Amino acid sequence: MSLPKDFLWGFATASYQIEGAVDADGRGPSIWDTFCKIPGKIADKSSGVTACDSYKRTKEDIDLLKSVGAKCYRFSLSWSRIIPIGGRNDPINQKGIDHYVKFVDDLLEADITPLITLYHWDLPEGLDKRYGGLLNRTEFPLDFEHYARVVFKAIPKCKHWITFNEPWCSSILGYNSGYFAPGHTSDRSKSAVGDSAREPWIVGHNLLVAHGRAVKAFRDDFKPTQGGEIGITLNGDATYPWDPEDPADVEACDRKIEFAISWFADPIYFGKYPDSMLKQLGNRLPTFTDEERALVQGSNDFYGMNHYTANYIKHKTGTPPEDDFLGNLETLFYSKAGECIGPETQSFWLRPNAQGFRNLLNWLSNRYGRPKIYVTENGTSLKGENDMPLEQILEDDFRVQYFHDYAHAMAKAVSEDGVDLRGYMAWSLMDNFEWAEGYETRFGVTYVDYANDQKRYPKKSARSLKPLFDSLIKKD
Ligand code: NOJ
Structural domains in the chain, CATH included, are: 8-238+259-309+351-472 (3.20.20.80)
**Which residue puts its alpha carbon closest to atom 11 of ligand 1?**
434
The pTM (predicted TM-score) of the whole model is 0.99
**Helices and strands, number each (H, E), in the chain:** 19, 13
Instruction: Decide if 377 is catalytic.
Output: yes
Query: How far apart are the CA of 192 and the centre of ligand 1, in A?
Result: 27
Average pLDDT in the 36-57 region?
98
Q: Which atom of ligand 1 lies closest to the CA of 437?
A: 11
Instruction: Decide if 166 is catalytic.
Output: yes
Query: How far apart are the CA of 318 and the centre of ligand 1, in A?
Result: 33
Secondary structure (DSSP) of 423-466? EEEEE-SS----GGGTTSS---SEEEETTTTTEEEE-HHHHHHH
Catalytic residue among 145, 258, 377, 437: 377
For ligand 1, residues with CB inside 6 Å are 14, 17, 165-166, 306, 377, 427, 434, 443
**Residues 197-237 pLDDT 10s:** 999 999 999 999 999 999 999 999 999 999 999 999 999 99
Query: What is the structure's pLDDT at 248?
Result: 98
Q: Look at strands 8-12 and 72-76 and give their pairing.
A: parallel
136, amino acid identity:
N
Average pLDDT in the 56-83 region?
99
How many angstroms separate the CA atoms of 340 and 389, rounded?
Answer: 29
**Residues 385-420 pLDDT 10s:** 999 999 999 999 999 999 999 999 999 999 999 999
DSSP class of 239: E
Query: What is the structure's pLDDT at 46?
Result: 98
Query: What is the structure's pLDDT at 143?
Result: 99
With a cut of 80, say whether residue 428 has pLDDT above it: yes
Nearest to 5 by CA among 469, 465, 372, 378: 469
**Residues 289-320 pLDDT 10s:** 999 999 999 999 999 999 999 999 999 999 99
Query: How far apart are the CA of 424 and the centre of ligand 1, in A?
Result: 15
Q: Which atom of ligand 1 lies closest to the CA of 308?
A: 9
**Residues 91-119 pLDDT 10s:** 999 999 999 999 999 999 999 999 999 99
Query: How far apart are the CA of 433 and the centre of ligand 1, in A?
Result: 10
CB environment 398-436: b (16+ within 10 A), e (fewer)? bbbbbbbbbbbbbbbbbeeeebebbbbbbbbbbbbbbbb
Query: What is the structure's pLDDT at 476?
Result: 78
Nearest to 162 by CA among 108, 123, 106, 211: 211
52: pLDDT confidence band, cut at 50, 70 and 90?
very high
Average pLDDT in the 154-181 region?
99
Neighbouring C-beta atoms of residue 44, cutoff 10 Å: 12
Average pLDDT in the 275-298 region?
98
Q: Look at strands 373-377 and 421-427 and give their pairing.
A: parallel
**Residues 443-455 pLDDT 10s:** 999 999 999 999 9
14: pLDDT confidence band, cut at 50, 70 and 90?
very high
Q: Do the Cβ atoms of 95 and 28 come closer than 8 Å?
A: no
* Helix axis angle, 58-67 to 94-109, nearest 10°: 20
How many angstroms separate the CA atoms of 190 and 225, rounded?
Answer: 49
Average pLDDT in the 78-89 region?
99
With a cut of 80, say whether residue 1 has pLDDT above it: no
Nearest to 367 by CA among 441, 450, 263: 263
Catalytic residue among 19, 125, 166, 385: 166
Query: What is the structure's pLDDT at 163?
Result: 99
